[in-house]
Amino acid sequence: MKLALRELVRKPGRFVTATVILTLIAVLLMFLGGLLDGLLRLSTGAIRAQSADAIVYSDASQSSFLRSRIEADERAAIESADGVDEVGGLGVVLLGARVPDNGPRDLANVAVWGYELPPTGVPEPPGPGEAYADELLQADGVEIGDELLIGPARTPITVVGWVTDTAYNGSGGLWADLETWRGVLAENRPDAVLADDVVQALAISGPGDPADVVAAADAANDGTYALTIDDAISAIPGVDEQSGTFNQILGVTVVIALVVIALFFALLTVERTALYGVLKAIGARSRTIFGGLVVQATAVTLIASAIAGVLVVVLDLLIPPGSIPLYVSVGRILLSVVLLLIAAVIGSAFSLRRVLRVDPASALGN
């Protein structure tokens, strides 16, 4: 293994090609992973932020807030259920918002939420006509104190603070009290007007596990059903399909890295047949020689991953906010590095058979 590392130091040019190709593959892997994470954050942030254990929908809603209607008697039944401690109304409407100093057609996509139980990172509901805005809306020129005109009715809402990672369906969240939300809904979606005691959904919590809270809510009322937060996220249209498609692409990218490493070290093994013959002649074991190959493959992969990680972070800094939903995280970079290292070990293993077949006498004779 010392000999393998010494070769890396003394003859780095021999490994430049593999390092460059692996760097490009690692950049692609990290970028696609960051793009997937960014898209999921834009679609699911408001649900992930919920501090509740579960969300209750009406039976005919198909897990959609816009279709769901929870009547007052249904809410009362769930509030009285054993295993349910906290119940808060929840509703959302997706609209465009006119931002001060922006053009009349330059609208910001917003999801106006009405809530009672504050999600994680969101304060208690603000006063009437006020809302906390997701930081995503900063890219649209929104500032604290701005009066946004919501929807075709131009309902005014004043931004009083920022919250983080609460986007929904690609729109920045505006978090208001239920009355403000009902006013926005009534003025801009007359066909979806709700009575004062009706909400779209309920955020519920209890002393037990989320599954127990779901069971308690389902048993309390026949006209509604509950989903855990994870299940509610999966129920958002397109989330699972999006994740599946991107994960398949990421898997193919890892396989390509494996093939590149396998081909490179297979060729390197052929070139070193005489050297391996000498090493075996002086007592080196096949496992020692193969261990050196694995060390070199791992070192090359780590160098390529480090370069790729820096490039992706720089790329994230250069991309204008709001243009591409790229979210670069330490966890995603580390996951990409681990996948590439696994591919490096497996790829280099394809050279094991050649190493085992090296005969010292034949290699030296040739």
Q: Report the share of the chain in percent with pLDDT over 70.
A: 86
Of 90, 86, 107, nearest to 98 (Cα)? 107
Do 143 and 226 have their domain in common? yes
Q: Given 234, 259, 286, which residue is the final one in a domain?
A: 234
pTM, two decimal places: 0.81
Q: Given 193, 212, 234, which residue is the final one in a domain?
A: 234
| C-alpha–C-alpha distance, residues 161 and 140, integer Å | 15
Domain count, the chain: 2
Do 63 and 76 have their domain in common? yes
Do 222 and 295 have their domain in common? no
> What are the tens digits of pLDDT across the range 316-353?
889 887 778 889 999 999 999 999 999 888 887 776 66
> What are the tens digits of pLDDT across the range 267-322?
776 666 656 665 665 666 666 766 777 888 888 889 999 999 999 999 988 988 77
The domain of 222 spans 46-234
| Confidence category of residue 158, pLDDT binned at 50, 70, 90 | very high
Do 181 and 288 have their domain in common? no
Do 195 and 291 have their domain in common? no
Do 206 and 78 have their domain in common? yes
**266's torsion region: left (phi>0), alpha (psi -120 to 50) or beta?**
alpha
Q: Given 215, 234, 253, which residue is the final one in a domain?
A: 234
| C-alpha–C-alpha distance, residues 73 and 197, integer Å | 9
Mean pLDDT score, 17-28: 90
> What are the tens digits of pLDDT across the range 101-118?
888 788 999 999 999 999
> What are the tens digits of pLDDT across the range 61-91?
888 998 999 999 999 999 999 989 999 999 9
Do 164 and 269 have their domain in common? no
Do 154 and 255 have their domain in common? no
Per-residue pLDDT, 4: 58
Contact present, 37 and 44 (Cβ < 8 Å): no
Do 57 and 194 have their domain in common? yes
